[in-house]
Structure 1
Amino acid sequence: MSEILQSVTQIVGRGLEPGDDEEARDNLKRLELAVDTVNLAWWSMDVPTGNVLFHKRKAEMLGYNPADFTHYTHFTQILHPDDYEKSMQAMRDHIYNNSPTYECLYRIRKSDGSYTWFSDAGAIVKRTEDGKPLKIVGFVIDVSKLKQAELEIVRKNEELIKINAEKDKFFSIIAHDLRNPLWALMQYSEFLIEDSENMSADERDQMLKSLSESASNAHKLLENLLEWSRMQRGYTTFEPAALNIHDSVAEAIKILRDSAALKNIRINFYIDSDQEVYADKNMIQLVIRNLVSNAIKFTPAGGTVEISVSVAHNGFVLLSVKDTGIGIPPAMLKNLFSLTSDAKRPGTEGENSTGLGLILCKEYVEKNGGTISVESEEGKGSVFSFSVPVSPTASE
C-alpha cells in the first residue's frame, strides 16, 4: 500500500508540465493503464477549499456521473453511517500531523443503493511556507471481493467452531447419557438371571418394567444419535409425499403409550381423520415421537398430553403437543433448539434427557418447509407447535 501511495503521489501530485521528460510521461501512462485495468482510481483534494479532482474511474466504480462530484463532501455524504466518523478522523489525524499518511477502509454507497468496500490512502504533497497543508493526493481501490472473501473466512471459521462444539456435545452424549440406560439394562438383567427365584411376582414385574423402560430409553437415544449423525453427514433421505396426518400421528405415538401408562398419563389427540399434509413421513413421525416423549417425560403422574391440528391460512397446518407438565424455565427457552446449550434436565421421575431430540425436531420441521416454536410457563405446562405444508407449493 505504501509503495503504491508513494508512486501515485509522485506522479499525480507533481503533474505534467511542458518540457517534462519521456520517463515522466511514461509513468503517467502506466498509472492510467493501471486505473483502466483494475478497480483503482487516483484523487487529489485542495485542502483549503475541499475541492477535489479525481480519475473518472472512481465515480464509475460507484455507478455515478463523475460530474456529480466536485467537493470532498459529495463523497463523504454517501459513506456508510458506521464508517463516516472513522474516515473523517483518519483524515484529521493526517492533516494535523498525527499520522504520516491518510489510510482508511470504509463502505460507500453505490448508485443502486448497495454498499461496496473501498481501501483509501493519501498523503500531503504540497504545503504553505509555514507548513500548512495545501494539497493531498491519494488513491482508492475497490476491495469488495477481498472483503467478501475475508467475511466468508470468518463465517466458515464460526461454522467450524459450531461444528466442533456440536461434535463435543455429541461425544458427551455418547459417553455419559447412553451409559446410564445401558448400565441399567445390564444391572436389571443380572438381577433377573441371578436372583429371580427369590423374587416375588410383583418384584419381577417391577424389574421387567424397569428393564423395558431402560431398553426404550436406550433405543430412543440411539435413534436420535443415529438420525443426528446422518443429518450432519448429509445422508438423511428426504421423500415428501401426501400423507394422512391422523394416521401418521396414531402410528408414531403407538410405541409411547406404554411409557405414558406407567405414569398414568393420558394421551389424547384431536385430528380430523381425513386431514392430509405434504411432508416426509419418517421425519414428521420422528418429530411427533420426540415431542410426545418429552411431554410424557416432563409431566407428573396423572397428567395429560394433547395432540391437535389447526388449519392455517397460508397453506400450512399447525400441529401442537400440549402437556400439563412442569414447564420450562425462561432462561432455558431461549436456547432450547441449540445443541451447544445446556438444555438437558431429568424428567419428573428421573428420566434421562439430552436435548438432542429437539435439535432433530427443528432440523426436520424446517427441512419440510415449516417452523417450530414453544410456549411454556413453569408449573403449568408447555405447548410445542410446528407447521407442515398441505401441498408441495405451500413450502416453496
Structure 2
Amino acid sequence: MDFGFSGEDEVFRAEAREWLAAHAGDAEDRRTWERTLGKAGWIGLGWAAGGYGNRIAGLTQQVVWAEEYARSGAPPRSGHIGENLLGPTLLAHGTEEQRSRFLPPIAAGEELWCQGYSEPGAGSDLAGVRTTAERCSDGTYRITGQKIWTSLAHEADWCFVLARTEPGSRRHHGLTFLLVPMEQPGRIEVRPIRQLTGTSDFNEVFFDGARARVEHVVGGEGGGWGVAMSLLGFERGVSTLAQQIGFAKELGRVVRAAVESGAVRDAVVRERLVRLWAELRVMRWNALRTLGSSGTGHAGAPSVAKLLWGGWHQRLGELAMLVRGAGGAVGPAEWSASASYELDAFQHLFLFSRADTIYGGSDQIQRTIIAERVLGLPREPKGRQGAA
C-alpha cells in the first residue's frame, strides 16, 4: 500500500507548519489558544461541509495537521473532546438545530466540552451506568449521579452525559445521551483527582438535580447506547497518529539519554530500544491502513490500536527509568511528604503511563471486545464473571 502524501497534501503541510511556527508561542493560556486556532480555521477539519465555521480538509490533510501540530510543540488542546468526539457525533446523530447551536462555538474555540461516561461502578463496563435522568414537566431532565475520570471537567462549559432515563432498565437498555451545561451552581460539583504525577487532569463530577433540556437529547430518549458507541469509534481516529508523533519524541529522548549515560552499551537495552522503534513504526502503518480503509473488516481496529499503544507506552516508561538508573528514583532535595513537587520528563512518563492500560477501556475489556465482536468467540458464562 502507498502510505505517502500527495503534492497538495505537502502544500497543506507547509501552510500548517508555517502557521504553527508563527503562532504556537502566542498562547497565553489554553482557552485563548483554542480561540486562536478557531479564528484561523484550524478546528473541525474533519467535519463535513455545512457552514459550521470550519475549513474543509480531506483525511490525509487531517493527518498532516495532526502530525504537524504534535511536532510543533504547541500547547496541549483543551478543545479535543468537543472537536473530535462530540462534533462528529452530532454530525452523525444530532438534529440540524443541535448542529447549528453547538458546532459553530466548538469551531470558534469558544465552548469547551468534557465527557460524562465513566462512573465509580461503571468504568470500562460502560453499560453499568447508574446516573439517572428524570424527565420533568418543564421540558427538562433532572440528572442525579456521579461521573469519574472526567478529563478537563474543571475547564469545560458543557458535558455530554450518558444517563439512565428508564427506571428499572439494565445494561445498555434505557440509556440516553444528554448535553448538559456545566454552569449550574449548587447542582454540579467538580472535584479534581490528584494523580501520581502530582497533576489533576481528571475529575469527579457530582450531579445533584442538574438540568438538561429535552431538545438537547442526541439520538432520542433510550438511544444513548448506540450514540455512545459511535462516539467511542471517533475517539481513536486521526488523533492516534498525532499521539504517535509524541511517542516518537519521547522515544528519541530515551535513546539520547541511553547514549549519554552509556546504558546503550548494554545489549539488552539496545534490543529494547530497537524493538520499541519497530513497534512504533508498525503502529503507524496499522493506523494509516485502518484510516484508509472503508471500515469493512475493521470492527476491532480501535481495540487493537488501544492494546498496542497502551502496552508500548508503559514499556517505554519502564525503559526510561532503567536508562536513568538509580538516579531516576531521586527527586529535588526540597521535596517533602506534604509539599507539591515537579517530576522530570522521564519520571512523569513512567508514572503517568501506568494508567495507559486502564483508562479509555482497560486491556481486559479490549481483548473481550476483539474476542466476542470480531472473532465471534462465545461469551464468558455469567456464572464465571467476576470469579477469582
TM-score (norm 1): 0.22
Structure with greater proportional strand content: 1
> Larger RCO: Structure 1 or Structure 2 (Cα < 8 Å, ≥ 6 residues apart)?
2
| Structure number, greater radius of gyration | 1
TM-score (norm 2): 0.22
